[in-house]
Structure 1
Amino acid sequence: MKTSIAASAFALMTSPAFAQDVKTTLPDAVGQVSPALEAYATDTIFGSEWTNEALSTRDRALLTFAALVTRHETENLGSYVALALDAGVTPAELSETITHMAFYTGFGNATAASDAAAPVFAARGVSIDALPPVSPDLLPLNEEAEAAREKLVSGLYSDVSIGVVDNTREVLFLDLWLRPDLAPRDRSLVTVAALIAAGQPEQMTFHLNRAMDNGLSQEEAGAMLSHLAFYAGWPKVFSAMPIAKEVFENRGQ
């Protein structure tokens, strides 16, 4: 199975469309100013990390997009939109990721990401009909898990900000998280990537557990950390490592 994944990743990474996408993620100025950085990007990041079989190229493209949106790195974001589309992320999934990021990284980051994605969508003929509707039929609610989450949050914070408690329940967990055009696993994946990229590891325990409940494996979670080191920086990833270690150990008991 892993051999097949690796072969698929290699085929994708060496395809003309994807190779062009990779090239355009590096501004010409990089080679002009820092040839060493260009070599690291070409050889280590795209030549090694992106082809590591522990995590699919499609997942890497999606979590990279989420991290860049979180960090408001919009200047070259359009090239990563194209890269994600060629890696198998659908326009609907990218659209839904942007919507999701508005709640986890701020509306300004999400609207800036929309500006970056719009020309790519237009160039590829992505119509409004291909994007998630405003009010889709929602996924089934895990009532037991939601009751436990609500009890914890309400008990801790109702007397601090009832507005936050109510909106967390009604807007996020009874609506946003149930929208069907981004699979629960992928929604968790981009949320954890955003928390790491934002340097907010204290929020990871709940969301990494949720990601693994939604199907993300420990190996994939570890690969996500390795990948994000290149896009969010080693300090942010090392701040997240103790949280991941604790989650892994607790789940293994």
Structure 2
Amino acid sequence: MPREPSVSEVPALEDLRRVSPALEHYTRERLLGELWTRPDLSARDRSLVTLATVIARNQSTAMAAYFGRALDSGVEPGELSELVTHLAFYAGWGNAMGAVGVVKDTFAARGITAEQLPPAVGELLPLNEAAEAQRAERVGKDFGAVAPGVVQYTTELLFRDLWLRPGLAPRDRSLVTVSALISAGQVAQVPYHLNRAMDNGLTKAQVSEMMTHLAFYAGWPNVFSALPVVKDVLEKRPD
């Protein structure tokens, strides 16, 4: 059965009906009533994918409803906080800043305070030293002479700090990273991060459903541009 639209979505549907009855129909029947209830990707995961997309594309109009929906779907306030922080690095500082005001209002409406959010600095998750050393060596060899600052910050700030923050699980960080990359058309970066996502626990079925979800929120062209790369990664992964 198609689910009833949430309270936050009803005004948007009414607006759609007045502008484009066809788009209102597709939104209500296919997007909200069908896509969000498909198996293989939970409502919580769909919320993470959607938020990664709207932040990466700086779609502030859609953010408020989807931040609220994420909280209703089981995403913790601290996880939303970490998601915005993470996407500052993968979608750009400006896009993350564009989400801050929306999240602030959402938190205020829900009575969520700063005390419920992860600290700026704290204990980090354990690092896979061997894998990180291999990654750092490869990147340093390829790009150290071209952009040593990028190589330095990639190692020190991203992989030895950001990715080890416990406020968002590695699997979820990978999910939002891959979603943001595809949404921004950054196909060249997908193989590494999709492999990392699957190493972190994302399944082939979840990857498939993530792509289906992204078709609606990032657009069919971005998904079809990424599908050959995703197909290649999945075919090379062991069963």
Q: TM-score range by the shorter chain?
A: over 0.9
Structure 1: where are the runs of 5+ without partners? 1-9
Distance, in Å, in 1 between the alignment partners of 2:21 and 2:122 is 48
Q: In the alignment, which of 167, 184, 187 is matched to residue 181 of structure 1?
A: 167
For 1:63, the equivalent position in structure 2 comes to 49
Question: Alignment partner of 1:20: what SS?
Answer: coil
Conserved? CA contact 2:13–2:24, under 8 Å: no
For 1:98, the equivalent position in structure 2 comes to 84
Conserved? CA contact 1:102–1:110, under 8 Å: yes
Distance, in Å, in 1 between the alignment partners of 2:111 and 2:26 is 34
For 1:52, the equivalent position in structure 2 comes to 38
Distance 1:136 1:27, change over 3 A: farther
Q: In the alignment, which of 36, 44, 51 is matched to residue 22 of structure 2?
A: 36
Aligned CA RMSD, in angstroms, stands at 1.5
Q: In the alignment, which of 104, 109, 112 is matched to residue 98 of structure 2?
A: 112
Conserved? CA contact 2:125–2:164, under 8 Å: yes
For 1:6, the equivalent position in structure 2 comes to none
Give per-residue Cα distances to partners, 1:164-205, cap 9 Å, x unaligned.
000000000000000000000000000000001001111000
Question: Alignment partner of 2:61: what SS?
Answer: coil
Hey, which bits of structure 1, 4+ residues long, moved more than 6 A? none
Instruction: Give the TM-score of the pair, scaled to structure 2.
Output: 0.96
Count of residue pairs brought into register by the alignment? 239
Give per-residue Cα distances to partners, 1:63-104, cap 9 Å, x unaligned.
101100000000231111101100111110000000000000
For 1:191, the equivalent position in structure 2 comes to 177
Distance, in Å, in 1 between the alignment partners of 2:71 and 2:17 is 26
Distance 1:120 1:131, change over 3 A: same
Q: In the alignment, which of 189, 209, 212 is matched to residue 226 of structure 1?
A: 212
For 1:214, the equivalent position in structure 2 comes to 200
For 1:204, the equivalent position in structure 2 comes to 190
Conserved? CA contact 2:78–2:167, under 8 Å: yes
* 2:103 alignment partner AA: A
Q: CA deviation at 1:139?
A: 0.2
Instruction: Give the TM-score of the pair, scaled to structure 1.
Output: 0.91
1:20 aligns with 2:7: yes
